[in-house]
Amino acid sequence: MSDTFEAQGTVIAVGLLAAVAVMLFGVVVSPTIAGVDTMVAMMWIFAATFGAMSVLHAVVGQYNFAWGHGGAAFGWVLILLESSSFSVTLGLGLLVLSGGYIFLLSRRSERQVVDADSEADQLDS
């Protein structure tokens, strides 16, 4: 997983920088880009970032993280489409649940890395 942490950071950084660039464009140049509000464009970038993270984790075989990020991406899409109050509520629920799931998986993953490091240290001594 150490190789994917670098890719994960890159994907998140690119998504964040793109979102910030869109917001700066909205503040400095024009509040819309091709007729789309910059805030909406920024949220679509976040949805795409979560989708990219989902694909990245699926490629390396971490399907639990892939499902978590995919759920967050789908939640963003439901919110952005705004087809009904139900879809927005469902999207917010998916964002909260997916975020909690990703948090728990991350904590468990960190704990496993620490445990593996301590076992390796004990074997070396």
Give residue 9's pLDDT band: very low, low, confident or very high (50, 70, 90). Answer: confident
- Please state the rounded mean pLDDT for residues 54-79: 93
CA distance 102 to 50: 11
Element (H, E) at 36: strand 36-37
Which structural domain range is residue 70 located in? 2-124
Q: How much is the pLDDT for 118?
A: 65
pTM of the full structure: 0.80
CA distance 37 to 60: 35
CA end-to-end distance (rounded Å), the chain: 26
30: left (phi over 0), alpha (psi -120 to 50) or beta: beta
Q: How many domains does the chain have?
A: 1
